[in-house]
Chains A and B, each alone.
Chain A
Amino acid sequence: MHAMPHRSWLGWALSAPGIIALFTLVVGPGLVTALLSFSDWQFGATSLNWIGFDNFVAMWHDETFRKAFRNTLLYICVVVPASVGLGLMLALLVESDPGLRAFYRAAFFLPVASTLIAMAVVWQFMLHPTAGLVNHVLSWFRVAPTDWLKNPATALWTIIAIGVWSKTGLAMVLFMAGLQSIPRDLYDAGQIDGIDEAWDRVLRITVPMLGPTTLFVLTISAIQAFQVFDTVQVLTEGGPNKTSEVLLHLIYSEGFSFFRAGYAAALTVVYLLVVLCLIQLQALVVERRVHY
């Protein structure tokens, strides 16, 4: 085509707004965060010192950071398997029969589609020590009432439970999409090979065929779980006594409540590194394990 020489000009012209936006709004700020992590800058300060890795050393000795890191890991290690496992079970059960299928699907997905902040406020009221629904229902089973969000032994677990509630629906619909893509013939072939029991069919055909979907769901659940912030900020602010502190909320408090921008930037770098590790880890597992 004669137009070829013009194409480069055209391509760059059409891309320019997008490239400029990505550079000024994502790449640039990301690099500035990395730079700030080596400084002692505070919001509003007119000068800053380069302090090398001091922020990261301080972090290593910072008891709050350790708590936040441990809590975040615990949150991921419970919310991810629980929401993915529950999502898989619900997907299999809902799809196994047409009865009330649409209702169940909507019921389990509704938490995903609703505004988490508004629902967090509802949860706060449900967890009210005297007037709340949770303590009332548990009293039927003779469970002693407690102030779930203010009790150091239960605060993080309550945040975890709300996390499972809000994330299971997404895992479920992703599994449903995976189920749709399993060829029908496979079940017929299985029948010929003597796989008759429904349970057998699920374990020997459905579950293995969902392998790639499962890894995909695990990855996105882990990355999303790592972003836990809203419920902590609204319900516990990391308390009581930092027992429900998580990484993102710590970044928020250090940066925007205590204005220690340099330290918050260093925390952000660690946060990003963990996200990247999660992605790498999943990629490794995918290469090793998915074969059928």
Chain B
Amino acid sequence: MIRPLSFLIVRHAILLAASAIFLAPFVWMLLTSVKLPDEIFSPDWRWLSRHFAFVENYGEAFTRQPLLRYLANGVVVCVAIFMLQLLVNVPFAYALAKIPFHGRDLVFRLVLGVLLIPIHVTAIPLYILFSHLGLLNSYAALVVPFIGSAFGTFLLRQHFMTIPDDLIHAARLDGMSEWSIIWRIMVPSAVPAISAFFIFSFVSHWNAYFWPLLVVTTPELATPPLGVIFFRTEALGIAQYGPLMAAAVIVTAPIAIAFLLAQRSFIEGMTLTGMKA
């Protein structure tokens, strides 16, 4: 469709202005992360810093608090959650999609029923449970509540439904066990759904704050968002905005860069959030 020039100009004017607002926090975060305190609070306003304090601030960010440890915790927790979710929910979804068994409809209704229950609703009893087990401040507390993913099960079940039964019958005739049918036929054919679920699961648990805030009080176990808050508590006491912004950059960067590199699959994964809610 050919657009008149006036339309194109208006389009860019609106969109550029809007992107300036949407990107402002990112730009400001990056610019401040290389500023020294005297420039940050100087009455003489400048966008760019006179002194490029990259080494000072980023060095400070990494040494003042165990930032690398926070990032590593984030990876460990998110990967553990995803692996356990797969281990539990892939066979579950396969049974719901491809094995007719007594009570299946009832079980599927259970999955649909709990689809919408967020962690906030179960948090108090789960907190009591983990506290009784002596598991507060442990990786287990960060991981275990999320392994039974009704959403993951539902998503995989819908995908497995589309795989023809003949494929499974043929595999059974070839003497394949159900377990290898699941992992060698069902999983490979559902790779797009599984990778979208991986992005969804990884990003939502990387960014999660409510539950980690409740169960983790020691810095050794802090996930990236908690780490930023620990960092802020220490940095704000002495108005250390430069290193604080550097820490924010470091925590935001992994997911943001992953998004910029793989926009299409990323958006696919993130829009699953919609289906969940």
Contact = CB atoms under 8 A, between A and B. Distances in A.
Interface string B242-274: 001101100110011001100100110011011
Nearest to A272: B121
B38 to A, nearest CB: 11
B40 to A, nearest CB: 6
Interface stretch (A98-106, A152-160, A284-292): A98-106
Interface in A107-122: 107-119, 121-122
Given A265-B124, A279-B116, A117 B3 contact: no
B96 interface: yes
Interface string B69-112: 00000000000000000011101101110011111100100110
Contact of B274 (A26, A220, A234): A220
A165 B22 contact: yes
A138 interface: no
Interface in A149-198: 165, 168-170, 173-174, 177, 198
A115 B15 contact: no
Contacts, number: 268
A36 B99 contact: no
Interface in B194-211: 203, 206-207, 209-210
B230 to A, nearest CB: 11
Majority SS of interface residues in chain A? helix
Interface string B224-247: 111011001000000001001101
B99 A216 contact: no
A125 interface: yes
Interface in A235-290: 248, 251-252, 255-256, 261, 264-265, 268, 271-272, 275-276, 279
A96 B121 contact: no
Interface in A5-49: 7-12, 14-15, 17-22, 24-30, 32-33, 36, 43
Contact of B267 (A109, A121, A168, A271): A109
B170 interface: no
B183 interface: no
Interface of B: 3, 7-8, 11-12, 14-15, 18-19, 21-26, 28-29, 32, 40-41, 45, 87-89, 91-92, 94-96, 99-104, 107, 110-111, 114, 116-118, 120-129, 144-148, 150, 153, 172, 178, 182, 203, 206-207, 209-210, 213-214, 224-226, 228-229, 232, 241, 244-245, 247-248, 251-252, 255-256, 259-260, 263, 266-267, 270-271, 273-275, 277
Interface of A: 3, 7-12, 14-15, 17-22, 24-30, 32-33, 36, 43, 90, 93-94, 96-97, 99-100, 102-119, 121-123, 125-126, 130-131, 133, 136, 165, 168-170, 173-174, 177, 198, 216-217, 219-220, 223-224, 227, 229-230, 233-234, 248, 251-252, 255-256, 261, 264-265, 268, 271-272, 275-276, 279
